[in-house]
Amino acid sequence: MGQLAKIDPLPWGLALLGLGGGVAAVTFLSLAADDVTFARTQWFAMLAMLLALPAILLHAWKGNGAGLWWQAFWTAGLLAYLLHFWWSVGIVYGWSVGAVIDRQGIVGYSNFLVTALWIADVAVAALRPKLTTVTSILRTVAWLAVTISFVAASAFFRSGTVAMLGYVMLTATLALFAFRVFSLGLGRS
């Protein structure tokens, strides 16, 4: 209780609010869609992207020590992604990994790998907050994999608003990463 009382509830609260509000919005707005299953599958992916966006940008800006806000939105993004995973692999593909691979080919393998990396990173962040060399590498690789996965899935494989979201994510991530590198350079000089 003592430790809990010290935790700032705002990042987790807002991340949970985003997740809950997003899940409710997807659940109820999809009722108006022509194909509810398809709409929910797609929209949960977009929700995961939106929730993970602050964490991705924070990581690009501040690196592995991005803090509580990063952790809260990184975790909320994963939970939304797992809902997307459940609807796509579970409901659409009937938990048939073979069907996923048949449909998506190598992209299917990479999606499974990204999911595993993301879950591992969130678990490590929750259970072993202190960074070690191994967990730092895991965090960087997971961040890179998730970011590339989202950007590729939106900017390159979609069009319209979703693609725009992907381009925004890509631009903002690169800009913050460049800012971080540039700031480090200035600091050293």
Partner 1 sequence: MGDDPRKGESATPHIVQVPSPTNRTRSNQPFDRLQETATDPLGPQSVFAQAGHDLYGTKDVQDAITASYVWLADQMGHIALGLMPTLLLCWAFSGIWSNWICPGCETDSFWRAAGIVVIGLVVFSYWISKEIQDFNDTWGRQRWQFEFDTSDLVWNVKTALFFFAIGGMFACAAFINPWLLLAVIALVLWPALRIVYWWLRRKIAFQRAGLPYLFRLTNFYTKLSDDAVQAISDVANMRQVEVRFWRVVFRRDVPHFNDPPAGRRHFLITGSLNVGKTSLVVGIGTEFAFSLGIGRYLTAAKLVQSAPRTKKDPDKTENTGGDVLWPLRQCELLIVDDLDAGATADGRDVHLIQPDAFYEALKIEGVVPLQWLARRRTVWVISDPATAPAWRDTIAKSIGINPGDIMQIDLTSDQKPKRDDPPPRINVRRPLGYAAAAIGALALLISAVWWGAEGSWSRFQALTPEQAFADGSFGLELAPLKYILVSSKLSPRSLGPDWPKRFGFLARRDAVASVCAADAPHNLPVGFSVSNRLPGSATPVPVQFVGLTCAACHAASFGKAGVVLGPGTHSADVIAFTDAFLGATIDTGNGTKDSAGLTGDAILKTYDAQCPNEAGGLFHWVDNKVEAFFIDRWLSGLRATSRLNMSKYDMPFHGKALGDPLNIPTGPSRTRPFRSVVRNTLDLPGATNRAYSRVPLAAMQAERPWSQFDGSVGDRTVRSMIAIFTSGASPAALNEKQIAWNVTQAAEYTANLGTSPRLPHLRDAFPDVPAPDPAVLARGESVYLAKCSGCHGHPTATGWWMRPVKHPPSVTPLAGIGTDPERINFRYANMLPTALETLLPAKTEAERGDQMALLIKARLDAYNSGDFAQADWWTEAMSRFDDHAREFPAGHKLAFGLNEVQLRDGYMNGPIDFAWLRAPYLHNGSVLSLSALIGLTERDNQFCRGGTTDDYDTATLGLKLVKPGPNGCPASTPFLFDATQPGNSNAGHDFPKRGSVSTDDLKALLAYLGTL
The residues, any chain, with a CB within 8 Å of residue 72's CB and separated by 6 or more, are 11, 12, 14, 15, 16, 55
Distance CA 73, CA 148 (A): 17
Nearer to partner 1, 26 or 145 (CB): 26
Q: Give me the least distance between CB of 108 and partner 1, in Å please.
A: 10
- How many CA within 13 A on the CB side of residue 87? 20
User: What 3-state class would DSSP assign to 124?
Assistant: helix
Distance CA 168, CA 163 (A): 9
User: DSSP character for 63?
Assistant: G
Give the per-residue contact string, 75-104, with partner 1 (x = CB under 8 A; - = no): -------------x---xxx-x--x--xxx
- Give the binding range for partner 1 (CB under 8 A) out of 21-29, 51-59, 166-174, 177-185: 21-29
Task: Confirm or reject binding of residue 35 to partner 1 (CB under 8 A).
Answer: yes
Task: Confirm or reject binding of residue 28 to partner 1 (CB under 8 A).
Answer: yes
Q: In terms of Cα–Cα distance, which of 66, 76, 81 is closest to 150?
A: 81
Give the per-residue contact string, 101-140, with partner 1 (x = CB under 8 A; - = no): -xxx------------------------------------
Nearer to partner 1, 92 or 152 (CB): 92
Q: What is the contact surface with partner 1 in residues (CB under 8 A)? A: 8-21, 23-24, 27-29, 31-38, 88, 92-94, 96, 99, 102-104
